[in-house]
Amino acid sequence: MAIRFDASTGTFTIHTANSTYQMKVDEQGVLLHTYFGALADDSDFSYLIVPEDHGFCGQPAEYKGERVYSLDFCPLEYPVCGTGDYRITALKAGPEGRTPALDLRYFSHRIREGKYALPGLPALFAKAGCGAQTLEIVLKDLYEEIYVTLYYGVFDGENVIARSAVVENRGKAPATLRRVMSMGLDFPDGDMDLICFHGKHVGERQYERSALRHGITQISSTRGTSSHQMNPYVIFCGKHTTEETGSCCALSLLYSGSFQIQAEVDQFERLRVVCGLHEDEFSWTLQPGESFAAPEAVLAWSENGFEELSLSLQRTYHDHLIRSVWKDRKRPALVNNWEATYFDFSGERLLDIARRAAEIGVDMLVLDDGWFGKRDSDHSGLGDWFVNEAKLGCSMRELSRRIGELGLRFGIWMEPEMVSEDSDLYRQHPDWALTVPGRDPNRCRSQLVLDLSNREVIAYMKRSLDALLACADISYIKWDMNRSVDNVCSAANPQLSQGAVRHRYVLGLYEVMEYLHDKYPELLLEGCSGGGGRFDAGMLYYAPQIWCSDNTDAIERLRIHYGTSFGYPMSAVAAHVSACPNHQNGRVTPFWTRGICAMQGSFGYELDLSRLTPEETAEAGRQLAVYHQYYELFLHGSYYRLSSPFENHDFTAWSYVAPDRACASLSIVYTDLHGNARPRRVRWRGLERDARYRLKCVLGTAADAGTYTGAALMQGGMAVPKPECDYDSCMMIAERVGL
């Protein structure tokens, strides 16, 4: 069993393939955290907790004059406000109208087969035969009928532990929740580095590593989304941890709204980590008999560097988080008309692009913004999800039929969460937008946010989606969201605590997406929020791919993809070839380089294919042929970061290796050129040592490179071909030819 309870010591020990996690119920019923790290045994690790009088560390009431036991010193599994623990806490709650203070003690536990679920929230699921187990530990307040159930979902083969907390009010009066974290975790040593993935619009998930300092370090978003600025995924690691060596711990929150991850190095050089909903503006009334579930957090541990950590999470999210039927299907190579036409298009203009797309092997045309209501700029029309047939020159059904006759599928863009003030919807229902009474609302991109805590809004969104999907043969929806959430006040629920609106908004979003998933299982849904503003594990539960960034420049995408790869499967990264000069930064890169960069994820084009030169058309055909031929490698292969664009300014390299190691790809993009440059090499990883591999160049300017053993390619490496121009690149395929 992965989960074991020793009644003689009061210890719960969780083993995965490569890690051990342990808790202990002490003599006072306090649930202590005793160990998380490399695979160990069932020993009681509480011997590492040395009781002492530490001064200004208070004691629980039952200890009275005794000073060696303090919850301000003990490592705690789920720390709460009100126990004399002055460090960051996971829960701040209490009876309504009274000081929030709890003192949670062990009440009961249960170990069962399978993985727990969280109704209304994304969570990992267990496939048949995967051997997942669930541990439930119930804690109860000493004074009130408030209970907290800690959930642990263990995927021992994947080296992953999922966690959540559910707060229940079994009393006779309401309780108020002011802070609810999904988990807490105490490390005995705070001398660690923190890796986070910060960013901005068109510059998401930038890798940053820094030493933890005394006090509280916070990674968070208050924008109503997981945000472009900070991602709900972090790594804690040793000072000398690298891709292939050293200890590290990943923490990923499966949530798409405002979040908070805090790390505190305390007075004794120890580290406490908590993560969950952002506490700003949060207040939740829990009526008698009600419960509140915190979003799920996922933990993974590696003793062998970041590579093992990333591969574990990527496999777990592909196998146990993404539910779409498309996760193992060949996803269509598509062309999106946005950067080709923006708002200026007609049905015939779209058909011109579709004809060229069909000629070169594209699978789908996606119609982006501007097809609905009065929508020729971003100042009007959002919310009016009826087809502008005058603009198209035909019905949507006719357009999709003609595109289908060319052999292409048809997809469409929507932004269901938003409303323009110049729209029929807003004129009919101004109270459906989030606004603060008596104040002119803040605007962004000339739009307001619909109140998804309002059941009428949720119903309208479902009707709009049903009507759209009934009006044409639509295979794909790109679900966008182009502003942060503020003016957070619900006119529809004035009696509701306004501190609950942000979370209820996310729950409403998930409800609509679950509706789509259940009613239209064949629909391919792509998430988007101005690009990568909502690229999080929670969204993957509903959408198997996410538009990674509005920045389509191949060179800037190297950094964005690099950061994304640490915590997410690359098959979820939607990436396209765009026109040059690039629309975001004006850079000019070779057409083949744009294709190689975009082939790190779900591939497509973001340009006017009807205007390609003959040379570009031929290159696009080669790209699509490679994408189709090696799709299974890119979808199911293990992804290796072979050089970092944050450290190596000459080139960036990455590879995919098939599960049976019979085939692998290696891509190199040159980011700087030098006269009389020194020879460079790159080491492959993940190959079969004793096998022989034939290397051939399938994209770019390099030549085929001969036949070598896996050991030679991994230890000696491969000489990096000399670049022939700015931002040159190549993609090599290694095919096993024998042992």
The 3-state secondary structure of 45-64, one letter per residue: HHHHCCCCCCCCCCCCHHHC
Query: What span, in angstroms and rounded, lies between the C-alpha atoms of 284 and 273?
Result: 23
- For residue 81 the two structure tokens come to 């406000």
Helix axes 501-519, 455-470, angle to 10 degrees: 30
Residue that the structure tokens 């923006």 belong to: 342
Report the C-alpha gap between 737 and 706 in whole angstroms. 12
Residues making up the chain, counted from first to last: 739
**Chain centroid to CA 456:** 29
pLDDT tens-digit series, residues 68-77: 888 999 999 9
Residue 493, pLDDT above cutoff 80: no
Which of 78, 595, 502 has its CA nearest to residue 258?
Answer: 502
* DSSP letter for each residue of 385-451: -SB-HHHHTS-HHHHHHHHHHTT-EEEEEE-TTEE-SBSHHHHH-GGGB---TTSPPP-BTTBEEB-
Query: Is pLDDT above 80 for 495?
Result: no
Which one, of 165, 143, 176, lies nearest residue 60 by Cα? 143
pLDDT in tens, 84-121: 999 999 999 999 989 999 999 999 999 999 999 999 99
Helix axes 347-360, 614-629, angle to 10 degrees: 60
The candidate with the shortest Cα–Cα distance to 135, out of 121, 119, 114, is: 114
What is the set of active-site residues? 536, 616
What mean pLDDT is predicted for residues 439-453?
Answer: 94
What is the SS3 assignment for 481? Answer: coil
Query: Residue 82 pLDDT more than 70?
Result: yes
Q: Report pLDDT for 1.
A: 67
Q: What is the pLDDT of residue 574?
A: 97
**Rounded Cα distance, 597 and 595, in Å:** 5
Q: Are strands 681-682 and 638-641 parallel, antiparallel or unpaired?
A: unpaired
Give the amino acid at 44: D
Q: Which residues lie across from 529 on neighbouring strands? A: 532
Confidence label for 59 from pLDDT (cuts 50, 70 and 90): confident
Within 8 A by CB and 6+ apart from 465, the residues are 414, 416, 477, 512, 515, 516
- Under the phi-then-psi rule, with left for phi > 0, alpha for psi from -120 to 50, and beta for the rest, what region is 269? left
Q: Can you tell me the distance from the alpha carbon of 383 to that of 286, in angstroms, rounded to the nearest whole number?
A: 33
Contact present, 570 and 603 (Cβ < 8 Å): no
CA 536 vs CA 47, 126, 184, 197, 503: distances in Å: 38, 20, 20, 12, 16
Q: Which two tokens stand for residue 564?
A: 């994304």
Please check the confidence at residue 303 and state whether its pLDDT lies above 80.
yes
What is the C-alpha to C-alpha distance for residues 100 and 175, in angstroms, rounded to an integer? 9
The structure tokens listed for 10 are: 């009061």
Look up residue 692 and give its two tokens. Answer: 């022989």
CB atoms within 10 A of CB 112: 11
At 559, the pLDDT band (50, 70, 90 cuts) reads very high
128: pLDDT strictly greater than 80: no
How far apart are the C-alpha atoms of 52 and 60, rounded to whole Å? 15
pLDDT tens-digit series, residues 530-555: 999 999 999 999 999 999 999 999 99
Cα angle for residues 64, 70, 75 (degrees, 5° grid): 155
Q: What is the spatial distance between Cα 307 and Cα 245, in angstroms, rounded to a whole number?
A: 9
How many Å apart are CA 11 and CA 25, to the nearest integer?
6
Can you tell me the distance from the alpha carbon of 12 to that of 133, in angstroms, rounded to the nearest whole number? 13
* Dist. CA 382–CA 160, nearest whole Å: 41
pLDDT on residue 182:
98
- The whole-number average pLDDT for the span 127-147 is 93
Determine if the peptide bond prior to 581 is cis (ω within 30°).
yes
pTM here?
0.97
The span from the CA of 224 to the CA of 315, in Å, is: 28
Residue 734 burial (CB count, 10 A): 28
Name the band, by pLDDT with cuts 50, 70 and 90, for residue 61: confident
According to the model, what pLDDT value does residue 739 have? Answer: 60
Q: Strand runs (DSSP E) across 8-159, as ranges?
A: 11-15, 19-25, 31-38, 91-95, 104-113, 133-141, 146-155
Pairwise CA distance, residues 666 & 647, whole Å:
19
- Return all residues near 715 (Cβ < 8 A) that are at least 6 apart: 683
The answer to whether 117 and 321 have CB atoms below 8 angstroms apart is: no
Q: Of all helices (H) and strands (E), which one includes residue 466?
A: helix 455-470
DSSP 716: I
Amino acid letter, 153? G
8 A C-beta contact, residue 252 and residue 233: yes
Strands 19-25 and 31-38: antiparallel
Kindly report, residue by residue over 570-584, the tens digit of the pLDDT. 999 999 999 999 999
Nearest Cα neighbor of 509 from 155, 163, 226 is 226
Q: Mean per-residue pLDDT for 274-288? A: 95
Reported confidence tier of residue 51, pLDDT bands at 50, 70, 90: confident
Residue-level pLDDT at 542: 98
625: left (phi over 0), alpha (psi -120 to 50) or beta: alpha
Q: Which residues pair with 547 in a beta bridge?
A: 574
Could you give the C-alpha distances from 95 to 98, 420, 514, in angstroms and in order? Answer: 6, 41, 33
pLDDT of residue 704: 82
Q: Could you give all domains of the chain from N- to C-terminal order, each with its CATH number?
A: 3-320 (2.70.98.60), 325-636 (3.20.20.70), 640-738 (2.60.40.1180)
pLDDT score, position 130: 82
